[in-house]
Structure 1
Amino acid sequence: MKYDQPFKLASCRVLPSECAIELSTAEKVSLQPKFIELLCYLAEQFPRVVPRDEIIEVIWAGNEYVGENALTNAIWHLRQNLKGINGDTDVIETIRKVGYRLLVTPEYQLHTVPNSSQTVNEHQESLPIKAPNYWYLSLSIVIIFVSLVFIWQQNNKAAIFSQPLITQITKEPGSELFASPSPNGDKVVFKWIDETDSANLYITDRKNPALAPVQLTFGDGYISHSIWSNDGQYLYYAEKARDRQSCNIMQLKVATNQKSAITTCPLKGGYYYLDISPDNNTLAFHGYREPADDNGIYFLDLTDLSRQPWRFSCSKNCGYRERDFSFSPDGKYIALSRRVNRFNENLYLVDLKTKDTVKLTQGQEDIVGITWHPNSKQLVYAAQRADVRNGYVVDISSKLTEPLNIPGFSYPAFAKKSGELFFQQRQEKYHLANLSLTSDIASSPFPVIQSEFSHQNPHYSPKQDKVAYISNESGFYELWIADRDGKNRKQLTNLQKVVRYPRWSNSGDKIAFLGPVNDELAEKIYIYDLQNNQLSVVPSEHLHHNRPTWSYDDQSIISAVYEKEYADLHLINIKSGESKRISFDGGRFGIMTTESTLLYTNQHSGLWQKDLTSTNKPIKKISGKVFNTTYTWAYTPKGIYFKRNYNNQNIFAYYDLFLRDVTPIVRLPRRSLPLTTSLSFIDKTQELLFTGSQSPQSDIKQLVHPLLHPID
């Protein structure tokens, strides 16, 4: 699209043919062609509000990746250059979640067409008009066309693009997860979570995009992502019953939809990664067999299903867990992720014959997908930090890593024969929300702090009348505080690391939180002192801690610690680091209600109470049939506010400690809350404070990217 007609905009002239604007001072300011094109289009559509999607379609030819970022950048530059031409009034208005419109009426200046008598010299001799050489022109067109076809044929596989090209594969409501393309890329299987939170596998035919996806699995249990056999005949996936009594790796014949269980998978855990060797003989899956310490990678011989799977991962005292993995197309290596703790997970390359291992990445927090390029020279992976997902390409020879710069990129998967790359684009946002408990009728949560960034883990201090929370505005989750209404926000830390779970001391002068130290190999307890703005680390002997709370006198921290033999609550002195185990039943999260009384949850359900000065066994305060949350509860002297987890919804409820009965407060959609959000009670306003989430839209897309080489 090209605009040539100049027009006046308030006190300046827009000169499209010169890609410039002329200010009232007669100064000309040059702008990028796309900026001028955008301004002209807004002027052409005046006074209509132009949706963002329409602008991207018109100005950036529908290129979603380029347009989303470029449009925001272009609007910013136009506003900067047009500032002041209309007094204090903005020239371009942003209509939230819709688009943009021009606020100043454009005045077009028509081109003047000179009179022929003024432009033609009547005395000028007429010159003979030479007929064009149509044969030469036709031959030139043919030569150009043939050259272009030749260039396209030579470079089609090379995918020469100056910018990434993204094609949408699924557009269903809800979340489409874990793209699994057939070897030639003509079909894509994905896991679809619908509005009722039911999850099953579906298959879409790319040759017939008008056809709706076809459902492959039917049930209410847990379904993992899937992988294809290399001949395109079978799908493999994990299926765990909802009651967690059984888990099996399934083989499904795509043509007939016949399925059979070929081995078992662990009942514990929620990650069930799979891959198949290039010779189609070995299935790698996430499993567990005694006497291993934890889940890990197992190999299954598909040519002899009677043979027991064997463990590939380290079995005991490993110091890490291996999670995701992918066989190299040449069959020589397996790429895998190793998680040390919640702040540290990186990629490794392992030789399948010798088990020689090379570390490929450094400083990653959470790997969310690995796939090999069919040429065996590149590895594509996705990583998440502070709930922001991005993709990367690793060159196996040089170990050089480059970003793909695709927001929300996760769980990539190559079609092994066609070389097409598919991925799941998913973006998650969290906000601070409160729920009024004083309304006569059921109310809905109200956002306290909500923006384009994520804000989580709020905890309220009645002494300070402020909220401590974490926010990823800096690119990392750092510690912030704000008034309870979300005003007067202040960032307290600049660790450039991800921190979690802030908790005010009872006195209100300190905040404890969890964060990585020592090159992210340990999860330690930090203390931020608001009186002197100093930050310290509790000198604990343990490496792995969880959500900290405070002792009644604020001299110690209560935290679950994770050792090789057990995980339980400990009382840790903040100055000396001296640690004392205070639970012996898998304690996970505890709050001191008196100097000696501990209320806590453990690896089982229910809420428990223990007298730390006594050797008596803990008392179950609330039955697990009623109380089935680990972290989402708040204590008051009269009762407990807590979240009851159901399959498709959450219920906030109140347990009266004296009457020993439960009162439901409000029902909320399951995805409106993170699974393990903290909960804080504000007595002054009778409100509950917690983390809210938007139900994420996740779609399957195809990516062509200049960093990805063609198949050799």
Structure 2
Amino acid sequence: MKVNQAFSLGCCHVLPLESAIKIAEQEKQSLQPKFIEVLHYLAREYPRVIPREELINQVWDGNDYVGEKGLTNAIWHLRQKLNAVIEDGEAIETIRKVGYRLLIQPQWNKAVPEPAETSFSPATDTGINLAQKPKLPLTRILLSLCLLLTLAGIYLFNQPRGLPQAKIIPVTKDPGTELFPAPSPDGRYVAYQWRTPSGTSNLYLKDLQHGKVAAKQLTFDSASEGHSVWSHSGNYLYFARYNSKQETCDIVQLDIALNQETNLTACPATGGYYYMDISPDDKTLAFRGSEPGEEHSGIYFFDLKNRGQKPKRFSCLQNCGYKDRDFAFSPDGRSLAVTRRVNRFNENLYLVDLTTKAEKPLTTGEEDIVGISWHPQGQYLVYATQRADIRRGFILDVNNLSKQDIGIEGFSYPAFAKQSGALYYHQRKENYQLASFALNMDVATSPFPLLQSEFSYLYPDYSNTSGQIVYVSNESGFYELWLADADGQHRQQLTQFKRTIRYPAWSHRGDKIAFLAPTPDEQKESLYILDVATHKITAIKAPFSRYNRPGWSPDDSAIISSVPHDNGQDLFRFAIDSSSYQQLTNDGARYGVMISDNEILYTSLNKGLWYKNLAGNSGAQIKIPGNIFNGLYSWHYFQGSLYFKKSLSKAQQLMHYDFANKQLSTLIRLPRKTFQGGGSLTMLASEHKLLFSSSRSPQADIKQLAHPLFN
């Protein structure tokens, strides 16, 4: 599609010939040409709704495979740029199951005249003698030529050096998910974790010189092995082995040639992600760990030359205000790139001097870092981020802190081969839909999709009073609050927070919604209340910096939430019209529901479902033991019945417990990952259905990115 006419959208000037936009007095910002073409077409057809198929046909010449992902990526990036300068609402509207519409009337600049098409030649000319044509002055010709060369140079300089000039080479494409690539130093082999559709996970080794040969299995057990790293000699592979049944974790060295394992030291049996890296001199193995009694996990160094010594903690230990998560040694061995998490909404990259521990911030405004790796020459860091379950990759110049968007959807956990410089990553896209399960069927049927699209929908809560579902959707690039009717129709966006919102909960009267989100500076978390009628949002007044998912007291006068405090983490009651609060439990409670003015059901790290009478002096009582009730959040209490998710090794079950009769029953057995991890259940009482977030098992594959910047 030919694009050359400039136009304006409010204070944003779109310059198609330069593939750039200019906002007010700011410097020009380059965009991928395809993004500009999409915006130009939306502007040209304003205010018409443009079907997705039409945009793909116009911009990608009908290439559906590339266009489907490319269009989603383009709309996301355009919204990121335009919404930041639009005062009222969105710049581009998504029309569900149809397409997109530009909401700002474009103002077109004077059209650039296109040269007339001619086929002039002396033999066919009948009107003008070539010898009689006026000659331009030489200085004017030279000036025109210089101007053309300057414009051409500006145009080429501003072209993005991302995906259009890069080459993607598939490495794996097996069923299930292949995660966390670890290339050997020479780039010949890639080790990775393969999670089969049945749920087992082990480490595998792919020989890239024999691409058609099946990957070799390296580990054979029921434990989990994920992140791994090679020694620079290429002789050993290091990884963590976590056994959930035995609640043990070991750091393991695998001799590749002999296929012989050696347990080096213990690692914590909690934490989930066992990040790992090795120093350039092969002397120090770094891993994420913790010691008993420590406030939080951190980076530990293990001396590979003196294996009898205990690992030493490198990270801050007390009163830190953050915790270190992922890390990577610089190629010269002098620094460590570290991701530091302040809270679940704030994680950024830092460069830490290994000798002095002096630190330098490398990024700001990120929410979740999902992988970092150094280019062997040490100038660039490649890292990936995740916000609202949308993953993106960046190339960061550590000298001037400029960064470039790689432009690959789902890019995460990059890893460079230390010697060859080849870059590998795993590509994975999360997607969640809202599904319902009918409880009044004689024969259990599979859950039925209620809301599904290319976007993700999470944490539904239904109000039997208002007859509406509140949930979060990432279609704006952030998880914002949305409303829908019980059948998923008449959707309405409630917030323009431009920060990630989680865990919405209806008040019993159906007039307010409590939710969790970061403070404007994203340094802390806060509980917020939205008045549905006025859309006014207020924050709970309390001195805590972290909260968990909220619930309401029976009279709607207070919010119930779990918060960390000096002696652990417990449920508190927060009055909504004052700054008063009250601690309700003292046994590590994580999520609770008040079933009367003085009774509460809750979950804690002690496993199982617990009950406490707040008016009495008796302690908590267990209602359902942990071997049956093995989750923290995916459960719902309704009129004397409890519905909850039970996780098995290779499946999930939806369970029902009748409190009056003390009867437990299985409603349906479902495949693993049917329920979104940590998701919520809610009851549509009028239709006798349960509503929940259902995950689509993502196909994650290992790929190689050949980027011109690294050649």
TM-score range, shorter chain: 0.7 to 0.9
1:399 deviates by: 1.2
| Inter-CA distance 428–200: structure 2 relative to 1 (3 Å threshold) | same
Letter in 2 for 1:186: R
Whole-angstrom CA distance in 2 between matches of 1:529 and 1:72:
33
Aligned positions of 1:507-518 closer than 5 A: 507-518=509-520
Please tell me whether the aligned partners of residues 162 and 404 of structure 2 are also in contact (alpha carbons under 8 angstroms).
no
User: Which of 367, 370, 377 does residue 372 from structure 2 map onto?
Assistant: 370
Query: Aligned partners of 1:63 and 1:300: how far apart in 2?
Result: 50
Task: Give the Å deviation of 1:470.
Answer: 0.2
- 615, 634, 637: which one aligns with 2:636: 634
Q: State the Cα distance separating 1:445 from its structure 2 match.
A: 0.6
Aligned to 1:205: 207
Aligned partner of 1:361 among 352, 363, 382: 363
- In structure 2, C-alpha distance between the alignment counterparts of 1:300 and 1:631, rounded to whole Å: 36
Counterpart position of 2:245: 243
Displacement of 1:475? 0.3
SS at match of 1:684: helix
Q: How far does residue 637 in structure 1 lie from its aligned partner after superposition?
A: 2.0
Partner of 1:294: 296
User: Which residue is 1:333 aligned to?
Assistant: 335
C-alpha distance in 2 between matches for 1:455 and 1:253: 44
- Counterparts of residues 120-135 of structure 1 (less than 5 Å): none
Where 1:207 maps in the other structure, the secondary structure is helix
Per the TM alignment, residue 244 of structure 1 is displaced from its structure 2 partner at its CA by 3.9
Q: Alignment partner of 1:671: what SS?
A: coil
Is the partner of 1:672 in helix, strand or coil? coil
The counterpart of 2:682, out of the listed 680, 684, 690, is 680
Equivalence for 1:277: 279
Greater Cα shift, 368-377 or 630-639: 630-639
Q: 1:229 to 1:550 in 2, by over 3 A?
A: same
Give the partner amino acid of 1:447: P
**SS of the residue 2:687 aligns to:** coil
Match of 1:466 in 2: 468
Instruction: From 542, 563, 566, give the equivalent of 1:540.
Output: 542
- Of 600, 615, 619, the match for 1:613: 615
Q: Structure 1 residues 533, 70: closer, same or farther in 2, change over 3 A?
A: closer
Structure 2 partner of 1:475 = 477
- How many Å apart are 1:577 and its aligned residue? 2.4
Aligned CA distance change for structure 1 residues 650 and 71 (closer, same or farther; 3 Å): closer
Displacement of 1:228: 0.4
Asked whether the equivalents of residues 656 and 665 of structure 2 are also in contact (C-alpha less than 8 Å), the reply is yes
After superposition, give the CA deviation of every residue in 1:569-609 in whole Å (9 maximum; x if it has no partner).
Answer: 00011121211110011111111111111111111111111
Structure 1: tracts of 5 or more residues without a match: 1-30, 36-50, 75-94, 97-158
Aligned residue for 1:314?
316
Q: Is the 8 A contact 1:63 1:166 kept in 2?
A: no
Given that 2:337 and 2:351 are in contact with CA atoms closer than 8 Å, whether structure 1 keeps it comes out as yes
Find the partner of 1:691 among 674, 690, 693.
693
In the superposition, relative to structure 1, how do residues 296 and 429 fare at CA in structure 2: closer, same or farther (>3 Å)?
Answer: same
Match of 1:254 in 2: 256
Deviation of residue 162 (structure 1)? Answer: 5.2
621-630 or 235-244, which deviates more = 621-630
Larger Rg: 1
Give the C-alpha shift of residue 245 in structure 1: 2.9
Q: Check conservation: 2:421, 2:710, Cα contact below 8 A.
A: no
Superposed, which structure 2 residues align to 1:519-558 within 5 Å? 519-558=521-560
Aligned to 1:69: 70
How far has the Cα of 1:541 moved from its partner? 1.4
**Cα distance, 1:66–1:678 mapped onto 2, change above 3 Å:** closer
Task: Quote how far apart the aligned CAs of 1:565 are.
Answer: 3.1
Mapped partners of 2:651, 2:602: distance in 1: 24
Are residue 164 (structure 1) and residue 176 (structure 2) matched?
Answer: no
Give the residue type in structure 1 aligned to 2:582.
K
- The TM-score with structure 1 as length reference comes to 0.78
Q: Distance in 1 between matches of 2:684 and 2:72?
A: 42
1:705 CA displacement: 2.1
Distance in structure 1 (CA, Å) of the matches to 2:451 and 2:71: 27
Q: What is the CA–CA distance in structure 1 between the aligned matches of 2:72 and 2:378, rounded to whole Å?
A: 36
Counterpart of 1:485 in structure 2: which amino acid?
D
Q: State the aligned residue count.
A: 580
Distance 1:288 1:702 in 2: 33
Partner of 1:590: 592
Which structure 2 residues correspond to residues 30-429 of structure 1 after superposition, within 5 A? 68-69=69-70, 163-290=165-292, 292-429=294-431
Structure 2: runs of 5 or more not aligned: 1-32, 38-52, 76-96, 99-160
Residues 544 and 563 in structure 1, CA contact (< 8 A), matched pair in contact too: no
RMSD between aligned alpha carbons? 2.7
CA distance in 1, matches of 2:383, 2:361: 14
Please tell me whether residue 578 in structure 1 is matched to residue 580 in structure 2. yes
Work out whether residues 643 and 657 of structure 2, in 8 Å CA contact, stay in contact via their aligned partners in 1: yes
Tell me the percent identity: 45
- 1:540-592 deviation digits (Å, cap 9, x = unpaired): 11110000000111111000001243110000111212111100111111111
In structure 2, the residue matched to 1:505 is 507
Displacement of 1:284: 0.4
Q: Could you report, residue by residue, the CA deviation over 1:79-112 in whole angstroms, capped at 9, with x for unpaired residues?
A: xxxxxxxxxxxxxxxx99xxxxxxxxxxxxxxxx
Question: Does structure 1 conserve the Cα–Cα contact (< 8 Å) formed by 2:600 and 2:611?
Answer: yes
Distance 2:580 2:490 in 1: 37
TM-score (norm 2): 0.78
Q: Distance in 2 between matches of 1:514 and 1:423?
A: 32
> Which range moved further: 634-643 or 498-507?
634-643
